Structure 1
Amino acid sequence: MHSIDLTLTISGSTPSFPDSPKTQLISWSNIKEDGYNMELLFFSSHTGTHIDAPFHFVRNGLKINQIPLDRLIGKGILVKIHKPKNTAITKSDILLFEKNHGIIPSNSSVFFISGWIKNLQKKNYFKENPGLSVSAAKYLASKKINLVGIDSPSIDLGKDISFRVHNELSQNNILIVENLINLDKINSLTFDFSILPLKLKDATGSPVRAVAFCN
């Protein structure tokens, strides 16, 4: 079994969502003056490869520190549906995947390869990204899906400022992971994964270290 890192490196050049603070890693101490190196971290809890807790969109939703570990470690299903900019992955797309590869079981964790991550440093990354349609989100919610991941900055279309898919999934207690990388390096439709956030009290999200384990 080998591991595949699905995580963006967080640095000063990591793009931030519009209106979010720019990521900064600020030197605080150094070996010459203090005897050790240390830095301060300044960035949104939704920076880089990160997880959204339901509390991000639901008043009484599950918070990051309340997510059970068994929801963050498990088996994933890889769904490859490349879409051009401003185009949604639909319920019909998912049904076609199931026709060709088998039904996605209830309580699964589903990872979508859109191919959009290649545009990470482009100006349209946050504004024109593909995402899920509301019909696709409702279909996944009907299956009581555990987690939905995607290799784009948002599970919603970039142009959908009402966050309808975030709301649909969050209201159904479905975890959301965004900005995944290297999904195309996974060589099977199913794989083991670990997606571990910081245990931040009452937080809406957290950067994660996301890893796939493949044979």
Structure 2
Amino acid sequence: MIVALAFSLISTGVVAQTKASDVHGNQSTELLAIVHASKLVDLTHSFSASTPVWSGFGQAIITPAKDPKTGQPYTIEKDGFRANYFSMVGQYGTHIDPPAHFDAHGATIDAIPLDQMILPLVVFDITGLLHKDPNHALNVNDILSWEKSHGRVPSGSFAALRTDLSKDWDTNPTRFKRSPFPAWSLAAVRFLIEQRGVTAIGHESLDTDTTPHMDSETWLLQHGHYQIEAMAHLNEVPATGAVLIAMWPKVKNGEGFPVRVMAVVPADVSQGH
């Protein structure tokens, strides 16, 4: 399994100074071979000035960078390069909410350890439940039912909620403005963190909760865990066996930022999906 090999390299092979450099070379070759043979799934939406966002934040403003002396935009034809200015809230597009988003003493995005950015991925698919209950909140019974088919949720994993809401990102963005919507129950979030040792969660919606009280998000962030919102393409990832890799700029004391997040699905898992 790729995640086991990666963690083994982090904890033993890469850091330790040993005379067996050829062993390290073999390990890195093996890791690269697994990655190259794997299916890579982009779990990130592109964002623009018209991207769905909570109305309390407002749309991003993306403009050409200008020469401060002339006020004119830089262009490839005139200057040999071009660039953008971005004015937007950190919680924009596919983004991370660190604990500091809801906790005055919580970790900011620059303080989240690297080993919490590469995690085993489990996906809870509740799309089959949404025909009868379009605003279904994943509950503990749903998790226990999932475990009967896929085994116990592994400790240290990233738990993602598939609702297929992301399919409306470009075609029906107004769907992201409605509330409630399919999301997590507080009981499910607490169960995953307290009983299963999950490290972080993610979902396709712009919020964690099906209610306006933000109980699930508040509890999660105030207990030291991060989440990723507005995820994409969870329909292309199996329930278990993939590895999530999430990266974001290391903004000092940052309270949220757009992320690039992907799933690595090993060939044997992909073929069985």
TM-score, normalised relative to structure 2: 0.74
Instruction: Give 2:96's aligned residue.
Output: 51
Gaps of 5+ in 2: 1-37, 66-73, 268-273
Between 122-131 and 147-156, report the one with greater CA deviation.
Answer: 122-131
- CA-based RMSD: 1.6
State the partner residue of 1:63: 108
Match of 1:98 among 147, 150, 154: 147
* In structure 1, distance between residues paired with 2:241 and 2:216: 24
SS in 2 for 1:32: helix
Matching of residue 15 in structure 1 with residue 68 in structure 2: no
Residues 29-48 of structure 1: per-residue CA shift (max 9 Å, x gap): 21233331111012110111
| Offset, 1:180 | 0.7
2:204 counterpart of 1:151: yes
Identify the range of structure 1 (195-204 vs 185-194) with the bigger mean alpha-carbon deviation: 185-194
Looking at structure 2, the residues matched to 205 and 13 of structure 1 have their Cα atoms a distance apart, in angstroms, of 19
Counterpart for residue 188 of structure 2:
136
Q: 1:104-143 counterparts in 2 under 5 A?
A: 104-120=153-169, 121-128=172-179, 129-142=181-194, 143=196
Q: What pairs with 1:178-193 in structure 2 (closer than 5 Å)?
A: 178-187=229-238, 189-193=240-244
SS at match of 1:25: strand
- Displacement of 1:198 after TM fit? 1.1
- Structure 2 residue aligned with 1:169: 220
Q: What is the count of residue pairs matched by the alignment?
A: 213
Name the structure where strand makes up a greater proportion of residues: 1
One-letter identity of the residue aligned with 1:47 = Y
Q: Which residue of 2 aligns with 1:39?
A: 84
Shift of 1:188: 5.2
CA distance in 1: counterparts of 2:123 and 2:244, whole angstroms: 11
Stretch moving more, 192-201 or 62-71: 192-201
Output the TM-score relative to the length of structure 1: 0.92
The answer to whether the Cα contact below 8 Å between 2:41 and 2:263 also exists between their aligned partners in 1 is yes
**1:79 touches 1:189 (CA, 8 Å); kept in 2?**
no
Larger Rg: 2
The CA deviation at 1:118 is 2.2
Task: Write 1 or 2 for the structure with the bigger share of helix.
Answer: 2
Alignment check: 8 A CA contact 2:121 2:241 kept:
yes
**Contact in 1 for aligned 2:42/2:262 (Cα 8 Å):** yes
For 1:85 and 1:23, how far apart are their aligned partners in 2?
29
Contact kept in structure 2, 1:89 and 1:132, CA below 8 Å: yes
Whether contact under 8 Å (1:141, 1:172) holds in the other structure is no
Q: 2:176 is paired with a residue of what secondary structure?
A: coil
